[in-house]
A and B are shown apart, each in its own frame.
Chain A
C-alpha cells in the first residue's frame, strides 16, 4: 500500500509518502513546496502538486499526472500512483471561530472545548456572565470576522431565556465572515433542545447558515462534544474550505475529509493514548502561537496560547513572564539591554535563527518560559466539569475537593511529545530534552519524544482511514525518542541524598548510583535499548508509588538517554544570581547540553 499525505500550512505544503513494506508501514520520503493559497496562484492544489512532485522525484514513483492531479493505483502491482491521498490544512490562519454559551465556566467553556478540539482558534467567548454589557458584546461580535459560530447554553429542559438572549445578541450584530460578501456565516447551535424552535426563528434571516446538533451539555454532569466537533469538521469542509481558493478541487482528490491541522494532531494523540493506554501531552510551539494537547484518562483537551510564540509573539512572552524569569535559565553573562534588542529583532525578522551560542542560549531560555506559560494555561483549561453535584461522606469533612480540578497530572503523565522549530530544530537533542524538562517539570517516569518532521497532522487524518498504518508510522518514524526523565515529586534538600537508582539490562547492571538534592545526571542509554530502572527515593520524595516508596519500571533508550533529575518538584532555582548561574551551568554540563 502506498499513501500520500499533505499538510497545507500557511507558508509551506508538506508531503510525505508512507509505504507498506514487509507488512509494516513506514514513512519513506518527504517533499516540501510553498503553499499557493494566496495570490497570484490562488489555488492550493498547485502547492500540493509541487510538494508531491518532490516526493515523486525522490521516490521514483510517478505520483502526479500530466494534468497536475494525483495518480491513483488501480491494483497493488501498479508501479505508479498511490492508493490513498489525505490532507490537512491550516492555510490562511486555519479555522477561526467565535463561541457563545450561558455561563462562561459551563456551557460556554464546553463550546470552547469543542471548538478547540476540532482544531479551531477561538477568537472570543461570549457568555451572559462575561462582565461585558450587551452593547460591548455586540460591538465585539461585529468586530470579529469568524469562519464559524458555535452557540451553546442551557441543559436539555433547562434554561431557554438566557440562550435566546445570547442568540438575540448575535443575530442583529450580524458578524461578517472572513470570506466573501455572499458567504453565509455558518452557525452551529448545540444548546438546550427546547430552545431550538426559537433559535431557528431568530437565525432565520439572511446571513446565517444554521445547523443544529445535540446539546453539548445535555445535563451538567455530562459533556457531549462529539456531535458538535463532527459538525464543525463538516462545516469547515462545506463552507470554509469551499470558499478557500482551490480547496473544492483538493477535496475531490482526498480519500478522507480534509481536517484542520491541529484537529488532526489531536486525533493522532488520542489514538496513541488509547492504543497504548497512556496519558500524553503534546506541544507545538510556533512563531505566533503555542498549541498544547493532552489526553489524561481518555479525555482530550487542546488549548491555543495565542500570544506565546518564538517570533511574532516573543516580545509578549518576555513581557508576560518578565526578563528576570527568562534570564534565570541563562548561565552566561548577558546584557539585558542587548537582549531586549534581540527580542525586538526576532519579532520583526521572524525567520532569523540564532547565529551564536549566546543567541541560542537566550532563545532556548525564552522557549522555556513560553512553554511554561502555555502549560499553565492548558492546566487551567483542561479541567473536570464544573457545576456538577458532588457525592460526599463524613470522611470528606476536611478534604472537600472543588469541582473543576485540573485533569493534567504530571505524575500520571507517560509520554511528552514536542514539536515546533525551537524544539525540533535544536542543534542537540539534549537541548530539546532539557527545555521540555524545565518547562513542564515532569514527575516520576516520563518518556520524552519529539515529532521528527511534524508528521503528526498527516498521521491524524491517516488514523481515521487506516489506524494501524498511523500507529506504526507514529512509533517508528514520527517519534524520535529522546529518552526518559526520572524526577521525584517533593522538595529536596541541597546536599542531602534524593534517590538511589539501578538500571539493569536483563541481569546486567548498566548504571547505578545516588543523586544528591539539586543534582542532575545523564545516563546514556541508546536508541532501541530496553532496561529496568529501579528508583529508591528518600523519605518525603515520591516517584509515583507514594513518598519514600521504591519504583521499578521498564525504560526505553533514546537519543539522549535517561535524565535523572533530583532538583525536586516544584522546581526551585536559587534566588542569588551568582548561585543560580552556577547551578544552571552545572545542570547544562551534566546533560552535555552545549558541549
Chain B
C-alpha cells in the first residue's frame, strides 16, 4: 500500500516535469528560475502549477520581494518584515525569517527572528538593538526542503519613538484621571464642598490620645518595619504627624521605635514639626523616637517587651507589617490599649481588624493624609482619584460580565464585544 502510493506520486511528478519542459521550452530556463527566485515571473495560471509542481520536487519557491520597515509609535528595536510570496498554491508549510545586524565589518551572523505559517506575509522582529541596522531574509520551507533565500536590499533600523501607540488607551486614561484630579482640586479651591466619608479609625485618634492623657501613660507609634522607599512607611509618617500634633496639644508622651535609621530621622522631623505647629516646641523629645534594629523579630521583641513593661494607653501601627502584625496587636490588646492600625498589606489586615480597635484598610490608609489635613488640594486629589477608581471598577464589572457571557454563548455578539473592550483598554 505504501509502496503503491509512492510509485503513483513519482509517476505524477514525472509527467508534470515533462509537461513543464514542453511548456517552458528549455531546461536552461528552468534552471534560471530556480536560482533567481526574486526575479521569478509567471505568465499563466496553468504555467504556475506546472512550474510549482516541477519545483516541489526539491524545494518551494522563494518570496518575490522582502521589505523591512520600522514599526511606528514604539520604544524602538522593533521592525516589521513583509514579503510578497509567489502567487498560487504551494506545499510549503512555513516561512523562516532571519535577521542580521549590520556591524562595522559588514553583516553579522544570521539569527532566527521567527517562524510563521506559510499563509502569513509579514512578521515582527522585536527585542532588536535600538537604532541598529538590520538585514532580513525569508525562506519558505516545505517537507521537501527550503526555497532560496530572499533578502532585503537595504538595512532597516528600529527607531525609538516619543510616543508608544499601543499605550494610547492608557494615555487617554491618564489624561482622564489627571483631568478629574485637576478639576476636583480647582473645585475644592473654589470652596465647593467635598464630602469625605467619616473614617472611624482617624476620628478615633483624639480618643486614643485622650485616653493616654487621662491615664497618664504614653502613646506608642510603630511606623512599620520597612524603609522610606516603601510608600506605606511614608503614609504612616503622615499619620504620625497628626498623632504627634494631637499628643502635643494634650501634652501626652509619644514613643516611636523604628526599625530603619532613615525612618527614625524622618519620624523625628515629622514629630518636631508637629510640636512646633502645636506651639509646644519645648515638649519635643528626640530621644523618644529611636532606632532599634533592622532585624524583624529583634524589633518585635523590643516593642513587645516595651509594651508589656510600660503599658502604653494607645498603640498605633501605621505602615508596612508582615508576620509581626499579630504579635504586636495581641500584645497591645492584652495590656488594654486602644489600638489603631493601618496597612496596605492585605495578608495582615485580618489580624489587625481582629485585634485592634480600629483599622485603616488599604486605600483608607493612603487617604489618611488628605482626610486629616482637610487641605483643598489633597481632598480634591482624593476625590478625582476616587472617581477614576469608580470608573475602573465599572469597567472591571463590565469585563467580567462580557467574559462570562462570551464563555456561555460563544456564538453571540459577546465575544466580539469583549475583544473590542480588550482592544480599547490596550490589552
Cβ of A103 and Cβ of B361 under 8 Å apart?
Answer: no
Cβ of B337 and Cβ of A403 under 8 Å apart?
Answer: no
Cβ of A389 and Cβ of B215 under 8 Å apart?
Answer: no
Report which of A103, A105, A154, A392 forms a contact with B357, defined as CB distance below 8 A: A392
A-B contact count (CB 8 A): 91
> B346 CB to closest chain A CB, in angstroms?
11
> A265 CB to closest chain B CB, in angstroms?
31
Q: Complex formed: what's the CA distance from A400 to B350 in Å?
A: 13
Return the CB mask of B235-265 against A: 1 if under 8 Å, else 0. 0000000000000011100000000000000
Q: Select from chain B the residue with minimum beta-carbon distance to A399.
A: B200
Q: Complex formed: what's the CA distance from A390 to B340 in Å?
A: 11
List the B side residues contacting A155 at CB < 8 Å.
214-215
Enumerate B335-362 residues with CB–CB distance to A below 8 Å. Answer: 336-338, 349-350, 353-359, 361
B157 on interface, CB distance cutoff 8 Å: no
Return the CB mask of B198-227 against A: 1 if under 8 Å, else 0. 101101101110110111110000000000
Q: Complex formed: what's the CA distance from A390 to B339 in Å?
A: 9
Return the CB mask of A95-116 against B: 1 if under 8 Å, else 0. 0000000110111000000000
List the A side residues contacting B217 at CB < 8 Å.
158
Cβ of B214 and Cβ of A107 under 8 Å apart?
Answer: yes
List the A side residues contacting B359 at CB < 8 Å.
397, 400
> B243 CB to closest chain A CB, in angstroms?
14
A393 on interface, CB distance cutoff 8 Å: yes
Known A-B contacts A394-B354, A396-B353, A397-B359; the reply to A162 vs B251 at CB < 8 A is: yes
Q: Complex formed: what's the CA distance from A386 to B338 in Å?
A: 11
Report which of A128, A398, A404 forms a contact with B207, defined as CB distance below 8 A: A404
List the A side residues contacting B353 at CB < 8 Å.
392-394, 396-397
A217 on interface, CB distance cutoff 8 Å: yes
Cβ of A386 and Cβ of B210 under 8 Å apart?
Answer: yes
Report which of A153, A389, A394 forms a contact with B350, defined as CB distance below 8 A: A394
Enumerate B351-381 residues with CB–CB distance to A below 8 Å. Answer: 353-359, 361
List the B side residues contacting A160 at CB < 8 Å.
216
List the B side residues contacting A161 at CB < 8 Å.
216
Cβ of A159 and Cβ of B250 under 8 Å apart?
Answer: no
Q: Complex formed: what's the CA distance from A155 to B354 in Å?
A: 27
Cβ of B200 and Cβ of A400 under 8 Å apart?
Answer: yes
Cβ of A397 and Cβ of B215 under 8 Å apart?
Answer: no
Enumerate A10-47 residues with CB–CB distance to B below 8 Å. Answer: none
A204 on interface, CB distance cutoff 8 Å: no
A220 on interface, CB distance cutoff 8 Å: yes
Cβ of B361 and Cβ of A397 under 8 Å apart?
Answer: yes
Enumerate A139-194 residues with CB–CB distance to B below 8 Å. Answer: 153-155, 158-162
List the A side residues contacting B207 at CB < 8 Å.
105, 386-388, 402-404
Return the CB mask of A394-414 against B: 1 if under 8 Å, else 0. 101110111110000000000
> A394 CB to closest chain B CB, in angstroms?
5
A129 on interface, CB distance cutoff 8 Å: yes
List the B side residues contacting A396 at CB < 8 Å.
353
Cβ of B358 and Cβ of A390 under 8 Å apart?
Answer: yes
Q: Complex formed: what's the CA distance from A220 to B357 in Å?
A: 15
Cβ of A106 and Cβ of B210 under 8 Å apart?
Answer: yes
Known A-B contacts A153-B214, A394-B350, A400-B358; the reply to A389 vs B338 at CB < 8 A is: yes
Cβ of A387 and Cβ of B198 under 8 Å apart?
Answer: no
Enumerate A368-403 residues with CB–CB distance to B below 8 Å. Answer: 386-390, 392-394, 396-398, 400-403
Q: Select from chain A the residue with minimum beta-carbon distance to B358.
A: A400
List the B side residues contacting A386 at CB < 8 Å.
207, 210
Cβ of B361 and Cβ of A389 under 8 Å apart?
Answer: no
B214, B216, B359, most chain A CB atoms within 10 A: B214
List the A side residues contacting B337 at CB < 8 Å.
389
List the B side residues contacting A398 at CB < 8 Å.
361
> A466 CB to closest chain B CB, in angstroms?
41
Q: Complex formed: what's the CA distance from A96 to B144 in Å?
A: 112
Cβ of B356 and Cβ of A387 under 8 Å apart?
Answer: no
Q: Complex formed: what's the CA distance from A155 to B214 in Å?
A: 6
List the B side residues contacting A162 at CB < 8 Å.
213, 216, 251
Cβ of B336 and Cβ of A389 under 8 Å apart?
Answer: yes
Cβ of B206 and Cβ of A105 under 8 Å apart?
Answer: yes
> B352 CB to closest chain A CB, in angstroms?
9
Enumerate B248-299 residues with CB–CB distance to A below 8 Å. Answer: 249-251
Cβ of A128 and Cβ of B213 under 8 Å apart?
Answer: yes
Q: Select from chain B the residue with minimum beta-carbon distance to A403.
A: B207
Q: Complex formed: what's the CA distance from A402 to B203 in Å?
A: 8
List the A side residues contacting B249 at CB < 8 Å.
129, 131
> A9 CB to closest chain B CB, in angstroms?
39
Cβ of A102 and Cβ of B213 under 8 Å apart?
Answer: yes
Q: Complex formed: what's the CA distance from A390 to B200 in Å?
A: 12
> A388 CB to closest chain B CB, in angstroms?
8
Q: Complex formed: what's the CA distance from A129 to B353 in Å?
A: 30
Cβ of A400 and Cβ of B201 under 8 Å apart?
Answer: yes
List the B side residues contacting A154 at CB < 8 Å.
214-216
Q: Complex formed: what's the CA distance from A106 to B314 in Å?
A: 15
Q: Complex formed: what's the CA distance from A390 to B353 in Å?
A: 11
Report which of A129, A393, A394 forms a contact with B250, defined as CB distance below 8 A: A129
Cβ of A217 and Cβ of B358 under 8 Å apart?
Answer: no
Cβ of A128 and Cβ of B200 under 8 Å apart?
Answer: no
List the A side residues contacting B211 at CB < 8 Å.
106, 220, 387
Cβ of A402 and Cβ of B216 under 8 Å apart?
Answer: no
> B81 CB to closest chain A CB, in angstroms?
55
List the A side residues contacting B338 at CB < 8 Å.
387-390
11 contacts across the A-B interface (CB closer than 8 A): A106-B211, A128-B213, A162-B213, A220-B215, A387-B207, A387-B210, A387-B211, A396-B353, A397-B353, A400-B358, A404-B207
A residues apposed to B, CB below 8 Å: 102-103, 105-107, 128-129, 131, 153-155, 158-162, 217, 220, 386-390, 392-394, 396-398, 400-404
- 9 A-B pairs besides A103-B213, A154-B216 with CB distance below 8 A are A105-B207, A129-B213, A160-B216, A161-B216, A220-B215, A392-B356, A393-B354, A394-B350, A394-B354
**6 closest A-B pairs by CB:** A159-B216, A387-B211, A158-B215, A103-B210, A390-B357, A400-B200
